[in-house]
Amino acid sequence: MSAVAPDNILERPPSARSSSCTDSPHLHPLRAGPTLSPEAFAPIRRRMVLNCCKWDPQVGDVSTLAPFPLLIGRADWQQLCSTAEGLARELIAAEAELLGRPDLHRKVAVPRPLRNALAEARDRGATPAAVRTLRFDFHWTPDGWRISEVNSDVPGGFAEASELTRLFADSFGPSMNLAVPGDPAAAWADAVAVAAGGAPVALLSAPGFMEDFQVVSYMATRLVERGVAAHLAAPSQLAWAAGHASLRAAWYDGPLGAVVRFFQAEWMAQLPRSCEWRPLVVGGRTPVTNPGTSVLTESKRFPLAWEHLAAALPTWRRLLPETRDPRDAPWRRDDGWLLKTAFCNTGDTVAARDLVLPQRWRAAARAAFLWPGQWVAQRRFETVPLATPSGDVHPCVGVYTIDGRACGAYTRVATRAVIDYRAIDVALLVEGDRVQEGPA
Amino acid sequence: MTAEQIFELWAPQGARWSQWAKPVLFAHLGLPRESPVSSAGRVELAAPVAPPSPPLAGIEPADGTTAVVVDLPGAAGVAAGLVLAESGYRPVPLYNAVPSPSPGGPIPGGSVAVDMAQVLEALRAGAERVGVARLPDDAPPAFLLDARRRTADSRVLQPGAFDNRSVSLPTDFPSANLLLASGIRRVIVVQLDEGQPQADLSHTLRRWQDAGMEVLVLATGAALPGESGGTSGGTAASPRPITVNKPRWYRHLWHGMLARLGLRTNPLGGFGGFLPVPSAG
């Protein structure tokens, strides 16, 4: 793709480092880049939907692809990468320790069938991981970066992180000295291809969930580019013999080199007995990504186990807001707390009195009262809005680590302080030699 | 004609409702079984076969106040869209089924829950006809759905089959506010029978009805042209006003999840139980 001519830039970005929150002690490390004209943006959108499996570019009245990028200074990006790698190291250590502590599995809301499988994994050894992928969601606050969660089980957003970012970088050309922060899909596919050893790979997802189908479809194309046969399938179509996985499907019936589980771990506990899901957690010899043990740290109740672990988790303790069992937090009278389910994804169950409709708040409060072990209360943090051509937004920078190395970001913006399914995907580009204007 | 050119004809950049067009099928136009690709990398256009037309004479030419939702099985929906394009409506394909389990691979015959081969072919063959209609950018929409999307074919939905069933959600459509602001005050649902719309679609229609839009149904009859036992032509019925019943879990926080949960009513479906949200975090 050729670089965009100046005429195709519809709107200049707000002045560098401008922010609606001028009293922030730290200047915002992000700023909006130039908005592409409709003529320049249309080919990017088209390429995303036709070639990169971005099949939900419109949600209701919201177009989910932003026509402008966000920019971050190189030093700020390196700081995020370093922090994410630290979080990943601590998480992996804590997860290994948690695996050996079945007494804590109920505390972090692991469903009973999974608890049994994890207890067995402690003794027999967990099924090996093909690659371990994590995504940490960072938000800029008056006190610096904070994280809202880690996507430890089935992180998505690869097409947006790899392709949308590259298309924007190509559009602006080298003259603007912008670089992509990484290609997480390539790093992931390289690792899975190696783990599979040239054998076919099955990518599991739940039927009916187009949001998930598009992720596995995109990742499958990246595997095919590497000469790996890739097949979309459902968990019920796996068969195991002596720990080795095979796919039993009409279009492919044979052994697998690796299994990609884009099917939430806690859902596996609901599968019928006829479905052989346990080797995804324990006893399998075919590598799986992410491994079933990731459910231990995917749980939003993971912080409730910290006090029982030897792992210190200093970076986590510094960046994650205080998290408590709903029975131990004053969320009913203090609006400084929010509620979410233990296995909340894409912000769908996040609730606070002033954040959601009264009906929804009442439903969440009732559920947290009746089933407190399935919920958490978390102290809210203030995010610093960012001025963009679309108005003030709240950015969330999801930094991937793949086998412990930071390698790119899935970035979204929302007009509200919660990132959910209505959030807009935006490319994050790294500015080459921008002078750092303040403390990071 | 390339896949991009076909997509551009169905969802031209400047048209008001193009952004809602679902790209899934267009992204698969190059699949071997349906569309042999020449050495030049171009999708070979099938011989222009005019799809049989459902009886839609009861729908008045577009005047900007009426939208259409076509909920017919398979390629019949595309055929209806082409007829409506000639009456001034902008067909907006909302087909959301992944047609093949193997990227770039052929669609295995008889083992895909909802076989999209004929719909793919109809979209390809009908692209030029949509272009010839020269619709204005603000032409009112005719949203095209596949009535088979949730049910599949029980003969096909065996354990080894690729389960590509899907559901229609309110977020697949513009809001009532946006439609009303665009001057659209009523919607005609084209479906096989005169009963209530499909349960998943009812969530959208009921929202529109609650916002003040009038909902009408046009029944094409159980046997469509091109369907088994059907004949060409058919009687031209008139749309009939209906009251869309409040569907189960209407406006429920987790309706999207529950709708998809409904897919597991087939014992061989891939669902395992209570599925709160998509896996993608």
Which of chain B's residues have a Cβ under 8 Å away from the Cβ of A135?
Answer: 281
CB pairs under 8 A between A and B: 184
Closest Cα to residue A14, out of A41, A29, A33, A37?
A: A33
Alpha carbons within 13 angstroms on the beta-carbon side of residue A419 total: 25
**What ranges do the domains of chain A cover?**
89-144+182-297, 322-379
Q: Which CATH number does the domain A89-144+182-297 belong to among 3.40.50.10320, 1.10.260.40, 3.40.50.1760, 3.30.420.40? A: 3.40.50.1760
Per-residue pLDDT at A22: 35
Q: Residues with Cβ < 8 Å from B61, sequence gap 6 or more? A: B87, B88
Per-residue pLDDT at A222: 97
The model's pLDDT over A165-197, given as tens digits with 9 standing for 90+, comes to 999 999 987 778 899 999 999 999 999 999 999
* CA A220/CA B230 separation, integer angstroms: 40
Per-residue pLDDT at A391: 93
Q: CB-based contact (8 Å) between B30 and chain A?
A: no
Subunit contact A207:B165, Cβ cutoff 8 A: yes
Please state the separation of Cα A101 from the chain's center in Å.
26
Question: Is the whole model's pTM more than 0.95, yes or no?
Answer: no
> What H or E segment, with its residue span, contains residue A46?
helix A38-51
Which of chain B's residues have a Cβ under 8 Å away from the Cβ of A151?
Answer: 281
Cα of B277 to nearest chain A Cα, Å:
6
Q: Residues with Cβ < 8 Å from B146, sequence gap 6 or more? A: B72, B73, B74, B77, B95, B97, B114, B116, B119
Nearest by CB: B171 against A53, A59, A270: A59
> What H or E segment, with its residue span, contains residue A394?
strand A391-402
Per-residue pLDDT at B59: 94
Which of chain B's residues have a Cβ under 8 Å away from the Cβ of A270?
Answer: 272-275
Closest Cα to residue B90, out of B3, B168, B184?
A: B184
Task: Report strand pairing: B214-219 vs B186-191.
Answer: parallel
The model's pLDDT over A372-386, given as tens digits with 9 standing for 90+, comes to 999 999 999 999 999
Subunit contact B281:A236, Cβ cutoff 8 A: no
Interfacial A residues in 224-283 facing B (CB < 8 Å): 224, 229-237, 248-253, 262-264, 267-272, 275
Q: Which amino acid is at B105?
A: G
Q: Which CATH number does the domain A322-379 belong to among 3.30.1490, 1.10.286, 3.30.67, 3.90.1200? A: 3.30.1490
> What H or E segment, with its residue span, contains residue A260?
strand A258-261
**What ranges do the domains of chain B cover?**
3-265
* CA A265/CA A254 separation, integer angstroms: 24
* CA A421/CA B278 separation, integer angstroms: 10
In order along its 281 residues, chain B shows pLDDT tens digits of: 899 999 999 999 999 999 999 999 999 987 655 333 344 444 444 444 455 678 888 899 999 999 999 999 999 999 999 999 999 999 999 999 999 898 777 766 678 888 898 999 999 999 999 999 999 999 999 999 999 998 866 665 677 888 899 999 999 999 999 999 999 999 999 999 999 999 999 999 999 999 999 999 999 985 455 444 343 444 558 999 999 999 877 766 555 555 554 444 332 233 322 222 344 55
Interfacial A residues in 335-354 facing B (CB < 8 Å): 341, 343-346, 348-349
Interfacial A residues in 380-399 facing B (CB < 8 Å): none
* CA B236/CA B190 separation, integer angstroms: 12
Q: Residues with Cβ < 8 Å from A364, sequence gap 6 or more? A: A339, A349, A351, A356
Neighbours of A165 (CB within 10 A): 28
Q: Which residues of chain A have pLDDT under 50?
A: 1-24, 434-440
- Which SS3 state, helix, strand or coil, does residue A120 take? helix
Q: Residues with Cβ < 8 Å from A390, sequence gap 6 or more? A: A66, A68, A413, A424
A323-to-A144, A162, A319, A340, A353 alpha-carbon distances in Å = 19, 32, 11, 10, 17
| Helices marked H in A289-402 | 295-298, 314-319, 358-370
